[in-house]
Copies of this chain bind each other. A is one copy, B any other.
């Protein structure tokens, strides 16, 4: 490991290395301390609250140059900084109970900018039925925002990345690829609608859908798609030990995204390998799918298979293509890596 740079290791591998360090005191001890799920395996860590509930917690660091396109308003930067955290809370099926925000900013930042930023954070927290409960202010060369969100959920309703079984149906909320198209349009200075830009600048945390899904008792595993649909499928696959067969024709894609992509290869690129959509990826017991479709807007995009069958995309012509393990990944990447 000597002289190895983190850029050659990559985010997910580095998380594995660090998770091992954070486990050095033996597992039993931590269980006694009430840590149900620790670092590295899910969208949130999970603490036992000793009663019927558990607490979920997640943290996300965002930076001006890598995470907030120049075209974003300060209000949108605030909204997004909150939203990415609430999306992780949603991914566990939990109810958000608070958000703390650490903000590092240049000393010459205008107070009006910070006020707009705070209003955007507050608006997102209110949308999610909670509040900003604390924070830290700091000077920093580049605007840097780290949010940490808390949530609460009955242990019996907690949704994890593990739990999917072969035969379960794979579903997603919303649309895929919209944020990816928005980012590419900005980079190439191509025109796109407000609607598409909003998908990137003002992602909507699926907090309400998540609670409905958690209460339904029909969900076998769940996570968010912040790093792209393909990366999320790989994460679920690893944790649940299942494979996936995804039907390309079933992917929910906005008309404008299809038109922007022009050809099927490029469209596949947007739909599977770009991040920033913050939708939920859900596996559901097929016996209960009707019930779920009555209470929550989602789309069935495929089914879980045996792990050994891998993660494949079935084209409209019934051709099977392996879905690659790539998408938005930190450390490996430059600023633009959300688009490929």
Contact = CB atoms under 8 A, between A and B. Distances in A.
Interface of A: 1-7, 9, 11, 14-15, 17-18, 21-22, 24-25, 30, 33-35, 37-40, 44-45, 47, 49-51, 55, 57-63, 66, 97-98, 100-105, 107-112, 114-115, 118-119, 121-122, 125-126, 129-142, 144, 146, 148, 150, 330-331, 333
5 contacts: A6-B109, A18-B114, A38-B133, A66-B138, A140-B142
Contact of A132 (B39, B47, B118): B39
A105 B66 CA distance: 13
Contacts of A33: 97, 129-131
Contact of A111 (B9, B11, B59, B118): B9
A35 B146 contact: no
B135 A18 contact: yes
Copies in the complex: 2
Contacts of A39: 132-135
A21 B146 contact: no
Given A35-B133, A63-B104, A105-B6, A25 B144 contact: no
Contact of A63 (B14, B37, B51, B140): B140
Given A45-B98, A137-B330, 11 more contacts: A4-B110, A5-B110, A7-B107, A11-B137, A35-B133, A38-B132, A38-B134, A44-B134, A47-B133, A62-B138, A63-B140
Contact of A148 (B57, B108, B132): B57
